[in-house]
Structure 1
Amino acid sequence: MKEAAQTAAIGPADFVDGVLAQWQQEKPALDTRAMGTAGRLKRSAALMQRQMDQLFARYDLSSWEFDVLATLRRAGAPYCLAPTALFSALMLASGTMTRQLQQLENRGLVCRIANPQDARSLLVQLSENGLTLIDEAIEAHTRNLQHILSPLSDAQRTALDQGLSALLPMLEQTS
C-alpha cells in the first residue's frame, strides 16, 4: 500500500490507485509500478480521446476524419497524397481507407485527382471546403489539448513528453 500512499501524497488518488491497492492487498509481493504507469497512460489516452471526440463532433467530424484531413493538411500545398502514403501515415488497412475516403469525398471534403506521375492511380486532395474545415478544427484542437494538459506545470509536461519520447521509438520498433 506504500506505493498507492506515495501516489496519493503527490496528487489526488485516481482510478489506477484503487486498482493498485487491490493488487497490493491480494498479492503484496507483486511489483505493480509498471502496471500503474501503463494503466495511467491507457486511461489518460482514453479520457483524452473522449474530450477530443467531443471537440471533433462540433465540426461534424469523427476522429478518423479529423486525422485524414489533418494528414493531408500537414503534407503542405497542394494538400495531396497518394492513398498508400495516406493510409500508411494513419496506420489503417487499405480497405478501411477506401471506405473512409469515399465518405469524405461524398461530403465534399476531399477529392480524388489524377496522379501526374502514374496515370493508373489517383491522389487524394483536400477540397477547398476540407481545407477551410481542417484549418478551423486544428486551431480548436490545439486549444483543446492545451486545456486538457493545463493541470500540468511546464516542467511536468516537459518530463512527460521526454519520457514518452524515449518510450515510443522502442515500442514502434517492436510493432
Structure 2
Amino acid sequence: MSEVSKDAVDAIIDQWAAVRPDLETAPMALFGRIFRIDRAMGDAMERAYARYGLTRGEFDVVGTLRRSGEPYTLSPRQLSATLMLTSGGMTGRLDKLEKAGLLCRRPDPHDRRGLQVTITDRGLAVVDEAVAAGLEVQRAALSGLDEEEAAVLTGLLRKLLAGI
C-alpha cells in the first residue's frame, strides 16, 4: 500500500503531543479513525438505502428478515434482540415498514399473545436491490486496499472486537 498523507486525526494527535507530550496517543489515533470511518460510511450507506425508501435502521430490519431464510419470518422479540433495539424502537420501524408494504405482522399460530413479522414479496425485491447497492458502496470504500490488506484488516478488527 502506498503511503497516505497526514489526515485530520494526525492533526489531533500532533496537537495533543504539543500540549501533553507525556501521553501515548496511539489508541486515540486508531479509534479516531474508526469513529470517522463509521460516520462517513454510515452517511454513505444512508444515501445508498434512501434510493430504496429505507433508512439504515429500516434496512437492518428487512435485511435481518431476508437473511433469516425462508419463510423470512421472525418475532418482534427476535428482531429486537438481533438488532439490539428496544421494543418501542422496533415497533416504530415495523409500523413504517408495514405501511410501506415491505413486511406484514400476523398473529403467531403457536402463541396467542405473540406476533410474527414476515417480509413481503415487495420487501424481498427492495432489500435484494438495497443490499447490492450497499455492498457496492462498501466495495468502493475498500478500493484503496488490495485483497490481502482488506483480509488482514478484517482479521485485526475481528480480534479487536472480540477483546472489547
Pairwise TM-score range, normalised by the shorter structure:
over 0.9
Q: Summarize the alignment of residues 59-74 of structure 1 with structure 2, pairs less than 5 Å apart.
A: 59-74=52-67
In the alignment, does 2:121 pair up with 1:128? yes
Given candidates 134, 137, 141, the residue that maps to 1:141 is 134
- What residue is the counterpart of 1:5 in the other structure? none
CA distance in 1 between partners of 2:32 and 2:26 (Å): 10
Tell me the C-alpha RMSD between the 2 structures. 1.2
- TM-score (structure 2 length as normaliser): 0.95
Given candidates 76, 81, 88, the residue that maps to 2:74 is 81
- What residue is the counterpart of 2:24 in the other structure? 31
Quote the sequence identity (%). 39
**Gaps (5+ residues) in structure 1?**
1-8
Given candidates 37, 50, 53, the residue that maps to 1:44 is 37
In the alignment, does 2:95 pair up with 1:102? yes
- Which residue identity does 1:134 align to in structure 2? V
Number of equivalenced pairs: 163
| CA deviation map 1:23-68 (0-9, x unaligned) | 0111112100011001011111111111111111111111101110
**Gaps (5+ residues) in structure 2?**
none
Q: Relative contact order, CA 8 A, sep 6+: which one is greater?
A: 2
| SS of match in other structure, 2:144 | coil
- Which residue identity does 1:67 align to in structure 2? D
CA distance in 2 between partners of 1:12 and 1:60 (Å): 37
| CA deviation map 1:88-108 (0-9, x unaligned) | 111111111111101111111
| CA deviation map 1:138-167 (0-9, x unaligned) | 111112211111111212211111111111
| CA deviation map 1:108-159 (0-9, x unaligned) | 1110022122122110110111111001111111122111111112122111
CA distance in 1 between partners of 2:91 and 2:162 (Å): 29
- What residue is the counterpart of 1:22 in the other structure? 15
Given candidates 167, 170, 175, the residue that maps to 2:163 is 170
CA distance in 1 between partners of 2:98 and 2:152 (Å): 41
| SS of match in other structure, 1:41 | helix
- What residue is the counterpart of 1:4 in the other structure? none
- TM-score (structure 1 length as normaliser): 0.89
CA distance in 1 between partners of 2:96 and 2:85 (Å): 15
